[in-house]
Structure 1
Amino acid sequence: MKKIKRYWSRFWMRLAGLGWMGRLATRLATWGTPPYKGRVYLSRMNPQGYISPEAIVYHPQLQTYRGAFIGDRVTIFQSPQGGPVILEAGVHLYGETIIETGEGGMIQIGAETHIQPRCQLSAYKGSIKIGRRVEIAPNCLFYPYNHGIASDEPVRTQPLESRGDIIIEDDVWLGAGVTVLDNVHIGQGAVIGAGSIVTQDIPANAVAVGAPAKVVKRRDALDLDGREFVETHQNAKAKTT
């Protein structure tokens, strides 16, 4: 029975795509499959990955590759003059995440990066570039722009302003509810604690928390402390035997 189900899914995933026929094929491919992350394996059956028939995609410059997974109720939208969205192999976008590009902005997400539910990436006036194997917890926000706040103009009509792009290097981990603002560069291997607001650069392997986020320790120092603890514990044990 499992072989029949897999053959069924593989047949229809070969025909999957963004047109109405492709959407129908994707829906047929999901018959008999588990929901949510249980459908990730389908993304490896098509050169453009898997796009849920319940996802909203209004973006002619969307580029996806084999292994990319766009889950239920994900929205990918392009405003006028918006740049491309590039999802490399193995990128996962889960439920109710919103990906949006507008004037002056593009979004690129590196291979095997996973974005959990209800995140928002909104690239206007600046771009969002995320590296490989980045783990992003639910409810994270990325805004490479801000609104003007001049007192002589209504807030609704204030222009958008940007100090620069958001760049997140490989192997970064962002906890739940992190906000990343414009002109921020997060170095490789950094960890950002839940609920933090990142307003300035974070160096590689740093652990940062708070609003605004500040570096409180380094991962490489934690590794060293761990080794020292193990060595001390082993030496103490040897003396008692």
Structure 2
Amino acid sequence: MAVILPVKGIEPQMPESTFIAPNATIVGDVIMGENCSVWFNAVVRGDVNRIRMGNQVNIQDGACVHCTYEKTETVLGNNVSVGHNAIVHGCTIEDNVLVGMGAIVMDNVHIGSNTIIAAGAVVLEGTQVPSGCIFAGVPAKKVKDISAELTEGEINRIANNYVMYSSWFK
């Protein structure tokens, strides 16, 4: 059974449409929109600051979403996919973003919409990632602008697939 715990009297808030894997952990000041999913061994820890997620956000297997005490909250827009084993910490991610597998997004990062953070990328603290591009590497840098085909074929496809996958478990 999933671990869903209040912290200092604040309970996570998730609509009926949310899928939470049996071994996921969600604690504290976390509010999710419609059709979100938190997958196996993923952790969403709103214990030291708040976490807000828009609609159709998926936190894939082994990923960690956290924030920094009294400094940075985490805000995820609509249609955001956080890949397997990624770390998203104290940052803002706008709509239609794919954070690739094993990527790390640090405090005070702002990622613009329609963007891909490549697998294994490390987005350093305070980085401003513009909309409509791909960031890759360590430290992550812009490698190219994103095409409409890539937005539809990767960002939207993955987010939509995770809504479908979650329906298999309901």
Q: TM-score per shorter chain, which class? A: 0.7 to 0.9
- TM-score, length-scaled by structure 2: 0.79
Distance 1:111 1:190 in 2: 17
Task: Tell me: higher relative CO, structure 1 or 2? Use CA pairs within 8 A at least 6 residues apart.
Answer: 2
Which structure has the larger Rg over C-alpha atoms? 1
Letter of the 1:71 partner, please give it.
Answer: A
Structure 2 residues without counterparts, runs of 5 or longer: 151-170
CA apart distance, 1:221: 8.5
- Matches for 1:1-241 after TM superposition, within 5 Å: 54-59=1-6, 60-78=10-28, 84-103=29-48, 105-125=49-69, 126-144=72-90, 166-199=91-124, 200-220=127-147
Distance 1:211 1:64, change over 3 A: same
Distance in structure 2 (CA, Å) of the matches to 1:58 and 1:117: 19
Identity of aligned residues (%): 28
- Could you tell me which amino acid in structure 2 is paired with residue 215 of structure 1? K
Residues 38-91 of structure 1, C-alpha deviation per residue, up to 9 Å, x if partnerless?
xxxxxxxxxxxxxxxx1011124211113111112001123xxxxx20011100
The count of aligned residue pairs is 143
Instruction: Point out the structure with the larger helix share.
Output: 1
Structure 1 residues without counterparts, runs of 5 or longer:
1-53, 79-83, 145-165, 224-241
Q: Deviations over 1:103-148 (max 9, x none)?
A: 3x1001110111110001122221000010111210010222xxxx
Checking the alignment, whether the CA contact within 8 Å between 1:101 and 1:124 is kept in structure 2 is no
TM-score by length of 1: 0.56
Mapped partners of 1:135, 1:122: distance in 2: 15
Amino acid of the residue matched to residue 107 of structure 1? I
Deviation string, structure 1 residues 141-161 (Cα, Å, up to 9, x no partner):
0222xxxxxxxxxxxxxxxxx
The Cα RMSD (Å) is 1.6
Whether the 8 Å CA contact 1:87–1:109 is kept in 2: the answer is yes
Higher strand proportion: 2
CA deviation string 1:210-230 (max 9, x = no partner): 11110010014888xxxxxxx
Q: Which runs of 4+ in 1 moved over 2 A?
A: 220-223
